[in-house]
Structure formats: C-alpha cells, structure tokens
Structure 1
Amino acid sequence: MIPGFGAAVRAAGSLVVQPRMGFADPAAMRAGLLATRDARATTVGTITVDSYTRVGDLAAARRAGASGTPLNGYPIATADPRATADVLAAAAFPVQVRHGSALPEPVFAAMAGLGLAATEGGPVSYCLPYSRVPLSRSVPSWAACVRALSEAGTDAHLETFGGCMLGQLCPPGLLVALSVLEAVFFRAHGVRDVSLSLTQQTSPDQDLEALHALRALAARFLPDVTWHVVLYAYMGVYPRTGHGARALMADAAVLAVRGGASRLIVKTEAEAHRIPTIAENVAALELAAAVAATTTPDPGPPADTGLLAEATALVEAVLDLDDDVGHALVRAFAAGVLDVPFCLHADNAGRARSHLDTDGRLRWSSVGGMPIDRAGVARAPRLSSTGLLEALGRVQRHYDSMEEDRRVLGDRPRAAALGPA
C-alpha cells in the first residue's frame, strides 16, 4: 500500500526532494513520475496542472487537448481519467497535485475521482498574486474544497503556499505569518496533516531565522495537527549560467537541512530559459539530495532579530478579528492588517513597502496598517522602477558572477549573505 503523502515525508529520515513537474501528455507525465521515483534521492512526485485548468477555463483545456496545442502542465480536470489512473498506478509512489487556482473546485473534484489526497495552495496565496478573484470568493471556495478533501479520507494532506507569496521582495515575517494562517485555515476545515511553506530569499541568515520562526509558530498554533516544513528553492529571477543555478540550488539544500525543513522543492539549470526536461529535473533532485547528505542540522535557532515576534504579532492580530479564520483573513486584508508589498490585487491595501538592505536582508520601509513595530522599519529611498529591477535581479547577478570551480559539489562553499548589489 502506498503511504499518504505526509506520512511518506515523515518516514523518509532524510530531506525529501520534489520537482515542480507537469506535462500535458500522459506518457510524458508517466515518464516524469517514474524518473522522479527512481532518482538517486528520497523523492515524492508532482503533477503540476496547466494554466487553463488553473484559471478554470476547462473549455480551453479541452480544445487544446483536441487540437494537440501544447500546454504548460497536465490538464487533470479534462484528461481521460483512465489514462491518469494508469499514470498513477505505474508510478506507485506518493504524488502531490500543484495547481495555482483561486477557485479550485475542478482540480479538487478531479483529485477525488482519482483517489489523490495531496495538494497545495491556499485561499490567500492562490488568490492575491495570481488572480483577479476577490478574496470573498476565494475563501469560501477553498473552504468547501478543503472540507470535501478532509471528509474523503484520512490521507488528506495540504501544503500552504503562503510562505512563497511574492517572496522575492516580501520580508519573511509576513511570509511566515501567511503560511501559518493558511495552515490554521486548513485545520479549521478538517485537515489534520499539513505542510507549511517558505521560500529561499536573499539572505541565508535571515532565511534560517525564518525557518526556525515558522517551526516555532507551527508548534504553537497547530498543536493537534501533524505538520512538516517545506522549503522552496529561490523563486525569483534565476541565474542564467549552469554553475550559478547549481550553486543556488546547493545553497537551498543546505538551508533546508540547517533550518529543519523536511522537504525541498527544487529548481533546475534551465529555470531562467525554458520549461525543464525530465533529465534536468532529475539532475536537480540528485544535486540537492547529495548536498543535503553532507549537511548537518543546526543545533538551535540563530540570533533573534525580531522576526518571530513580527510574525507572531501578525498571526495573533488576524485571529483576533473573527472566530472564523476565513472571515478573519478577508477582514485582515480589508483593514490593512495584512498587506503584501508590490501586490496589485484589488483586495490588497498596497501601503506596505520593502527594500533590500546592503547586507542582503529584506526589510520594511513602510508597514502601512500592519501591527509591526515601527521602530524596526528602516528608512530607504523611494524605490524607482530601475531600483526594483535591480533588486529583483540581485540573486541572479550574485550567483552568475561566482567562479565555476567553486561550484563543484565536492568543494561546495558555505552559503553566504549577499553583499551590496
């Protein structure tokens, strides 16, 4: 019997690595899952859906399938369920569906028909940055889907995406809070096995502190839930060189192990250029696993710069707004208690601003109406479009400028904070 997704991660005993893989053709999807399963690493599988399915345009997904038009993922809601079932039976290991839907009913319905019980996202994190759907629609849609998933069986597993929202330039205290709040939302609707996400950002020291803060808040706010932490390799502008991409991926694996994450979502050398091949995904999985095997977890949390206190204040302020966490999330954004910098969604207040400091850390330059200590808000020049582009490209420039011979796995350097741009 194939174990549940969360159970498989917990039983692994080492860092579990996972690709973000989706192919429209069932034969290609099957080959990708088999290659993931057979990689020299501890892995779980992924079926990432296509963009039409993500936005609920199933008619367009059907037309593309009928005409042979290429899709950028697997059309799980319109594909022949027998073909999909054959793909899953051949792979015969835990698989998670990744989708990006603010209104995810078609995806959850397809999963139920296939007996799939693991997916990810959230009522906030798959609404604000990805869609024009109001939060007042996304929240009840997600609530109904989560309840249905939890009622379908004990293997239900949901992963928050809140720790990755616009993560390139969002101070991690807010990401930690959003990840915890979405996990609390899942718990409120019956799911008892969750994972909490966080993305690798611009400062290894700050990232490490954020991982420890996320684990501390999960232990506090999810006392009766089984949970683990999942780290995403950097989700911003990726290095264009092979050695730069490998270096960034290796540092993500180091960060995951040091910070106590159980699972790592990898990226590939092709990330800056195109959709990666199966072979490139496998290479990234095996690189991350090899680096993780040589890395030791940190014995305790790093120096406290106030990140945990900031995230705690945000979570508590939202939960104080309403006994129903879904209603509380809607009210929090309406009141500016939660405010994602650089997010243009109509339900986001848009008063918060952040910047990259000279030490590579993400810091607030304005917190709007969020309950964050203004004493810690740093003065910064108004961010121009040029400055924004420079900040977004900082990680890419840093890693591409490294010498290639420093990136050899056997001579892997320690992760280092990014210096001035």
Structure 2
Amino acid sequence: MTETPGGLAPYAATEATSRGRQHAEPPPRFRSEYQRDRDRIIHCAAFRRLEYKTQVFVNHEGDLFRTRLTHSIEVAQIGRSIARALGLNEDLTEAISLAHDLGHTPFGHTGQDALNECMRDFGGFEHNLQSLRVVDLLEERYAEFPGLNLTFEAREGILKHCSVKHARDLGELGRRFLEKRQPGLEAQLANVADEIAYNNHDVDDGLRSGLLTVEQLREVRSFNEHYEAVDRRYPALPPRRRIYETIRRMIDVVVTDLIEESRRRIGAAGVASIEEVRCQPAPLIGYGHDVGELTLGLKRFLRQNLYAHPRVKEVSAKAAKTVQDLFNAYRHDIRLLPPQYQDRIVQSDLTNDEAYRARVIADYIAGMTDRYAIREHARLLNSRDWS
C-alpha cells in the first residue's frame, strides 16, 4: 500500500482532495481542515446538550449510564483506533463520530419516533437529517455563515441515511443516495464504530440497571465465550471486573475482525483514491461473516431483552407522550416558544405555512435535553407524569 505524504493510505480523505466547505474560508494556520471540523463540533451548543440526552436510560435514572455525549466520545475513540490501523484520516473520523448524534431528540429513539409521528404530514423527522440541519443551519456561532460550515466530507459522514425524496433536495450531498454510491471510508468507519459502541456498551448498562442478567447473556454466544474464558483465567475476579473484562474482549474481537476484513475488501477492490471508494457497489468497511453473525445475534438479544423490557417500555411511553404533548402545545400557540423561535416563524415569508411552522417546532423540541423536556412538559401542561 502506497502512503500519501501525511502517512495516510491513498484512498483516505485528505485536504488536497476535499470538496471544501459551503462558504469559503481562509485555511486554518495551525491545524488541519478536519481538526477545525472537530473543534467546531466540540464547541457547539448541540454537542454540550448531548450530556443530558438519553442513550438507553433517561438522564434522571442514574449517573453512571451512558448518555449521547459519552456514547459519542466512545464512538470517536473506537473510530480513531480503527482509522489509524487502516491508514485513514483520524481527524475526519473523529469529527464524524462526535457529530453523528447532534440532531438526536431527547429520550433517544423513542423521542425520534414520537417526533416523526408528529411531523408525519410535514415531511417527517429523522435524526441524521436533523444532525445535518444542526451543523448547516441551526447552530449560530459565526458572523459570516449559519451553522458550523463543516467540510463536505464531514457532512457526508453525518448523513448516514436519506430517503430519495430528501436526497433530491440536498444537491451534491444527496447525490450518492440517488446514484447508489458509497461515502468515503471514514464515513463508513464512523457508522460501524457507532454500532460497535452501542452494542457492547448497552450490555454494560443493561447489567448495571438490573434489566439484564449474566444468566440471560450467557445464552448469547459472543458474550458467553468470553465470559467463560475470563472465568477460567481469573476465577476470583469480582463480578463487576469480570463483566468489564468480558466486554473489553468482545470489543477487541469485533474491532480486530473489522480491521482485517476491511483490509481484505479494500485490497480486493484495488481502490487508489476516495473517488474510487465512492464508486464501489458496496461498503468496504465491514465484518467478516462469522463476526457479522455474532453481531446480529447480540443485536437481536438486546432488542428483545433490553430495548423491549417492560421498564424501558414504561419510560418510553412517558417519553413519547411528553414529546407529542409539547409539539401539540406549541402548534396550538407559538407564543409558548422562546422568542428566537417565534421570530423565525413571524419574520419568515412562510409565516402561514403549516409545514414550516411545524419544522421550527421540531427544531426546538429536538434540541431539548431530557430534563428540559420533562420540566417544560410539567410547566406548560401542569403535568406530573415524571414525578
């Protein structure tokens, strides 16, 4: 494999091949363009709000459960490690990883589903598109442009999924969904790093919460093989440390396989540039067959035993009602919105456009943290749902 001058593989994203930013800017003096992307993400308000947004467990349920913020940091760590091994751009991988959930609603996927239902007649709601809205439009930090003005490659990675209808409205960024092309390898990697992080760390949070038991998890091959190996080698190890060691080994196996299989696919494809990567019929970053099957087995187990657990469902029902009630209250009376959101509606040429009004309301609700949404629900509706 021939390396670029910066030590990157020829198919990695580089500043020389970047498609640039929507608004031209002077280049940074002491950091790379992708480091600038990362830094803007870390400093934005949407990133800070992730600290109080649900991963699986609502924020008030415990201090040690993962949040969207800690999850994003874990994704970035896994992504950077794999990027280095594959000769990919670590800074870009980190930027995409840190930004991938910026548009997520309060209350995790339950909040997203509830807001999507509220927006059903107004274009729907999807958190990847919302993350793009955050970095392109909603963040207000810079004098010369809205949003964060990230590079094309970072924005490409943030937009993991997109319907054909929405893709047509996104110009160059949406073209790959219409032409069935692939994103760059850094974007592909951040997507899989996200899956590795939530699959394995949801096991940890599930056990910590008491909603999962070791006995249940021993029915899952990817867990049980490592658990038994740890037990044989460290029979006196305390239970919590035994769990940590088991999950550490689970992640190591998946990451190692991903690196080896991705190297094999890249070599077989013979790609020599990021554009050649984009022309491939399928992603080049992925697991081998056996580890892919193990990953699917773990995902099925978590879906059936954790995400569908009665206690999780009970909280999810409260969360969905909270989002729906807030949406309906703001639609009924936009004066309940903060002044800046009222201004977006009143000062727009689309004041009487129901879809535009609904989208502004969705922007506001999506930006809420769990605890702020709960507090607003109690204040506006005199609700005791969360007491």
TM over 0.5, shorter chain = no
> Is the helix fraction higher in 1 or 2?
2
Structure with more contact order per residue of length (Cα contacts < 8 Å, sep ≥ 6): 2
Structure (1 or 2) with the greater strand fraction:
1
